[in-house]
Structure 1
Amino acid sequence: MASRDESLASDLEDPASVAAQPLLLPRPVAAAAGGDASVTGLSPSTNESYSPISYHYGRRPPRDIPALLLFLFFCIATFALGITALARRNAAASRVSFYVFDRNTSSCVLPSSNSFSSSFSSSPFLKDLIWTLVVTFLLSGPIALAVLWILRRYAKQVVYAAIPFFILIPSFLNIYWFVACTIGRDCSNAFPLGYRIIVLIFVFLLIGVFIWIIVANWRRVELTVQIVRVAANALASNIALLAVLPAMGLALLVYFSPICVFLIFSTWNGRVVPREVKGTSGEYYKCVWKQESWVPAYFALAIITMIWSAATLVEANVYVIGDTVAQWYFNKEGSKPAKSLRSSLRNAFGPSFGTVCFSGMVMGAVRFVRSIVDSARQDEDARGFVNLIFKCCAEFLLAAFDFVNKFTIIFAAITGESYCSSAKMTYELLRRNLLSAVFVETVSTRILIGIIFVLSALYAIVVCAILRAISALGENMYYVAALAWLLLIVVLGCFINVLDNVIDTVYVCYAIDRDKGEVSKSEVHEVYMHLPISRNHRSALGRPSQIA
């Protein structure tokens, strides 16, 4: 017995032996290990029995029905009251400024003769701006596909080639701004030389901090390259996600359109009334518009519904990605799951729609509280040490909710469990490798964001050069190029968000594999096995030669 304990202790001291063990002890292993925490080297809670976790095929039962019913109530109430507001609108709201007070009737009346005119003028700037944005939007799709193809085959070259641009582009823009402002008369007069030098040095200090971050995390870059390549292959195997998810966003815009119309026409519910005004020449009456008392309440209802709906669609996107990629991951090697995207959509907007609504409600509340915290941060009256502590705690809690919720909805997509059950099971699954989750969540995301920033900046420079050659916009071409850069970075940001969700889904699937002691995708295990599984365990990513 003593020799057995010594062998167990030696295995636990060996990092390679620990890395080979499942993240969570399945039921048979836990029963064999016994309940003595001193033997296993784990906390007592870790030795609990866990049901086997796997992808839930077949028909799923409805989950989180109360959240679904509450969401449907908000939607139906918003549309019902909006239709009522549209039917009861008063056309006088659009002509309030033309009403005059009639002393004979002591009411506001509309004069018989009124003329309304409107004019629209176009300019070369508007024409070039529209064409540039249209061309950029049409090119954004092929650019995203090209980025996906490059990440699959040349991820390492792209990452290492983009890293210098993370430094060169901000440095170039900093120097260019300083020189242009020094040469320009208006800018130099409005911004003295001393202030320009301070800003120049400050930006270079920020660039220096960024260089230090890159150097400090250089040993993680190689593993990040492999993680991004695995995610790109997974997304390429489910390429239809890049078409379905934008379609869901378009459906949300269609859904929002009548609500926006209802909000506009709800302000038309009221009447024109005279109001006594005291002026320098005495008292007189002015015609003003008085809304009905229920209109502000409807505004609150509609805004809450729109925020909840937008958050629900975001969570539905994550759910569909998680469900589709999980089917690909747990499918047999060399075969492709049939109708995986269709079943994912059916699960997301079918039995698990209540879970999606619950997750959307949580994230909508987090966004609302975060906006309150940001507003309080800008309030000059809300200062002091206590307020600072409160804001830091609030930011920590909000970030924790955001972090846990993302993995919770992915776990719900894989297992079909309810939101609360998925949150608990996800916590148990990721408890022993929290650092790995943070690594996957942050490092790869920052690398991908840096890549799309570089590509968008290069595209903006090309647009600026083309506009300089074929147009006569002058300095306005910089505004057009900046808007083109913004549009492209938004579209590529959506693509990177999809890829980021694929990375998280593959990570959860890998954790489930380790939990069961199985290997569903050998190429994924070859990469993710190098992730650290605890805060005290260093991964092998510091030795690039170990990573293929």
Structure 2
Amino acid sequence: MGSPEEPSKPISLYDSSSTPLLSKPDDPPPPPSPYSDEPDSDAAQYLQISYNHDSRPFKDLPFSILFVLLVLATFGVGIFAVFHRNTDYSSLSSYVYDSDSTSCVKNASLTHGLTNWDPLSSSSSFLKGLTWTLVVTLILSLPICFSLLWLLKNYAKQVVYASLPFFILFPIFFDVYWFVACTISSSCSESFPLVYRILVLVFILLVIGVILWIFVANRHRIELTIQIIGVASDALSRNLGLFGVLPLLTLGLVVYYAPIVVFLVFARLNGKIAAEESDEVYSCVWKQDSWVPAYYALAILTMLWSLTVMVESQVYVISGTVAQWYFTKEDSTPKRVIRSSLRNAFGPSFGTVCLSGLLICVVRMVRTIVDGARKEGSGGILNLMLRCCVNALLSAIDFLNKFTIIFAAITGESYCSSARMTYELLKRNLLSAVFVETISTRLLAGIIFVLSALYAIVACAILKAVSNLGVDAYFVAALAWVLLILVLGFFVHVLDNVIDTVYVCYAIDRDRGEVCKQDVHEVYVNLPISRNHRPSSMITRTLGV
């Protein structure tokens, strides 16, 4: 306890006597001096939070074992399905019911052939135009991504303010264009009477007005968000190797999926041809073995869990790589950071990644069930309240899980320990984290929408000038727009994770009273801070009275 005569010290962010962000509210008061011989054990533990470069022990091992067993079971039963398949499935139409033997027998007089049908034979020009457009789009997407990253790093403010008008102009253009085109077209005007067309036009304009109002109401936040995007773009530009590793991980998932899809195809060939009675008429049908539906469920569950594990692995690699860069001194360059993050993600922390992926998989499935129940028309105020509560709970789990896997990538802690320590770390900055997530994500999504739309317009103009596709040029340009927005969406996904990782690293810096990256602190220090959990007791413990 401090002396009553001792004057009160001002509370400063980097004051060594201030309470760390991760301190528990119920911890005993710390001694008045931070250099005491007997410091608080929890506070001392939290002050050591930084990137763990040492050898990490295996965490959450049961979940990695469960995942591996599930994969082995899927592949094992799948291989059995391939060798145990019934080749009679392909000649099912050649079987007829024999009343004498009360079974299905093969009739040699029946032949089963393939129908000569080539729906694409008359559209070779369309296929050629579509193929070349998508190939060129895929090739150009890489320089577009790097150019966008360079622009966001050096001219983030100009890019954002140049894109903001298009957030309004593009929807208005497409809305008016659709209205005029539908009015001119006889078939469209007959399907949609004038009253309905006007209602759609006015409704979309109202939605655009709401978007415009959101921009105006949050104009003071846009400036700060621009600076955050610029800092994150600089961090990503110093770790460009991620753009080579992350697509390879996605490609690895596709290669991993290929045999499972083959197993699912061959699994349906496991069964027999049997007679079935319908309205006193017997026919020959294919009856699958009883274990086939169970294998389908097993394989689909494995694929879903594998997908979320791969997504969380990418987040882990991004977080570990950026954190190593963040906690490295300005005058030194970290080496083999991506290799280290990959080794940790698929080594000691693989169980943590599997647990995180399992939680995300469950959240997605529950959310799908809830949305399905809503579409089925389950009414009532009780059902509405229940859906709102479930969605709020799922969003909270999703939000906490994101920062948990980032913290695990930095420290190598287990999932539960990372979740607890992350909550303690972000408890006083929760609103800031929400701010970082929502505003920056929407701005980046708007920017890539504008770029993709501009590219689609240019592609459509070129196609109409150099090809004879006619109205098909609009469809090809739309597919090019979809492909480019998918690639740029992946870029935004990576940049979003960099923003969150830098935020967690900044919070760790605040907790330790250090400044590892001065430019990051100059921006993130302007974030709003939430101090709504027992501020008086925290001030009391900070002052040591």
Contact 1:78 1:305 in 2 (8 A): yes
CA distance in 1, matches of 2:445, 2:22: 36
User: Which secondary structure does the structure 1 equivalent of 2:335 belong to?
Assistant: coil
Partner of 2:466: 470
User: Which secondary structure does the structure 1 equivalent of 2:30 belong to?
Assistant: helix
User: Which secondary structure does the structure 2 equivalent of 1:286 belong to?
Assistant: strand
Matched, 1:447 2:443: yes
CA distance in 2, matches of 1:263, 1:19: 61
What is the letter of the counterpart of residue 32 of structure 1?
P
User: Which secondary structure does the structure 1 equivalent of 2:348 belong to?
Assistant: coil
Matched, 1:182 2:179: no
Partner of 1:357: 354
Partner of 1:31: 30
Q: Cα distance, 1:485 vs. partner? A: 0.8
Partner of 2:540: none
Contact 1:277 1:285 in 2 (8 A): yes
User: Which secondary structure does the structure 1 equivalent of 2:59 belong to?
Assistant: coil
CA distance in 1, matches of 2:4, 2:16: 24
Structure 2 residue runs of 5 or longer lacking an equivalent are 34-41, 534-545
Distance 1:196 1:397, change over 3 A: same
Distance 1:50 1:240, change over 3 A: closer
CA distance in 1, matches of 2:240, 2:93: 55
CA distance in 2, matches of 1:17, 1:329: 18
Partner of 1:62: 58
User: Which secondary structure does the structure 2 equivalent of 1:55 belong to?
Assistant: coil
CA distance in 2, matches of 1:266, 1:3: 81
User: Which secondary structure does the structure 1 equivalent of 2:21 belong to?
Assistant: coil
Partner of 1:312: 309
Contact 1:90 1:270 in 2 (8 A): yes
Contact 2:96 2:107 in 1 (8 A): yes
Partner of 1:40: none
Partner of 2:341: 344
Partner of 2:242: 241
CA distance in 1, matches of 2:451, 2:135: 18
Q: Cα distance, 1:115 vs. partner? A: 4.7
What is the letter of the counterpart of residue 275 of structure 1?
E
Q: Cα distance, 1:128 vs. partner? A: 1.7
Q: Cα distance, 1:111 vs. partner? A: 3.0
What is the letter of the counterpart of residue 30 of structure 2?
A
1:401-412 paired onto structure 2 within 5 Å: 401-412=397-408
Q: Deviations over 1:323-357 (max 9, x none)?
A: 00000000111321110000100000001000000
Partner of 1:333: 330
Partner of 1:427: 423
CA distance in 2, matches of 1:233, 1:17: 25
What is the letter of the counterpart of residue 31 of structure 1?
P
Candidates 106, 117, 125, aligned match of 1:110? 106
Q: Deviations over 1:118-146 (max 9, x none)?
A: 44333122332222222211211111111
Partner of 2:538: none
Higher relative CO (Cα under 8 Å, sequence separation at least 6) belongs to 2
Q: Cα distance, 1:256 vs. partner? A: 0.6
Contact 2:20 2:43 in 1 (8 A): no
RMSD: 2.4
CA distance in 2, matches of 1:132, 1:238: 31
Candidates 91, 105, 118, aligned match of 1:95? 91
CA distance in 1, matches of 2:359, 2:439: 25
Matched, 1:483 2:482: no
Contact 1:373 1:391 in 2 (8 A): yes
Q: Deviations over 1:444-499 (max 9, x none)?
A: 11111110010011111111111111222222222211111111111110110000
Contact 1:271 1:289 in 2 (8 A): yes
* Percent of aligned pairs sharing the same letter: 59
Partner of 1:284: 281
Contact 2:344 2:350 in 1 (8 A): yes
Count of equivalent residues: 517
CA distance in 2, matches of 1:237, 1:17: 27
What is the letter of the counterpart of residue 218 of structure 1?
R
- The more displaced of 21-30 and 228-237 is 21-30
Q: Deviations over 1:176-212 (max 9, x none)?
A: 0100001111100100000000010000000000011
CA distance in 1, matches of 2:15, 2:370: 42
1:261-272 paired onto structure 2 within 5 Å: 261-272=262-273
CA distance in 1, matches of 2:130, 2:246: 27
CA distance in 2, matches of 1:402, 1:191: 41
Q: Deviations over 1:335-384 (max 9, x none)?
A: 2111000010000000100000010011000001000011011012x110
Distance 1:21 1:156, change over 3 A: farther
CA distance in 1, matches of 2:480, 2:392: 35
Distance 1:352 1:49, change over 3 A: closer
CA distance in 2, matches of 1:162, 1:347: 39
CA distance in 2, matches of 1:292, 1:56: 51
Matched, 1:201 2:177: no
Contact 1:26 1:516 in 2 (8 A): no
TM-score, structure 1 normalization: 0.90
User: Which secondary structure does the structure 2 equivalent of 1:350 belong to?
Assistant: coil
- The more displaced of 22-31 and 61-70 is 22-31
Q: Deviations over 1:391-414 (max 9, x none)?
A: 000100010000000000000000
Candidates 276, 279, 294, aligned match of 1:297? 294
User: Which secondary structure does the structure 2 equivalent of 1:401 belong to?
Assistant: helix
Distance 1:246 1:234, change over 3 A: same
User: Which secondary structure does the structure 1 equivalent of 2:269 belong to?
Assistant: coil
Partner of 2:368: 371
Contact 1:25 1:49 in 2 (8 A): no
Distance 1:495 1:370, change over 3 A: same
- The more displaced of 109-118 and 283-292 is 109-118
Contact 1:30 1:49 in 2 (8 A): no
Partner of 1:260: 261
CA distance in 1, matches of 2:149, 2:17: 32
Contact 2:20 2:46 in 1 (8 A): no
CA distance in 2, matches of 1:20, 1:511: 17
1:103-182 paired onto structure 2 within 5 Å: 103-113=99-109, 114-117=111-114, 118-120=116-118, 121-122=120-121, 123=123, 124-182=125-183
Distance 1:73 1:422, change over 3 A: same
What is the letter of the counterpart of residue 349 of structure 2?
S
Contact 1:273 1:289 in 2 (8 A): yes
Q: Cα distance, 1:228 vs. partner? A: 0.6
Partner of 1:385: 381
CA distance in 2, matches of 1:416, 1:217: 37
Contact 1:435 1:535 in 2 (8 A): no
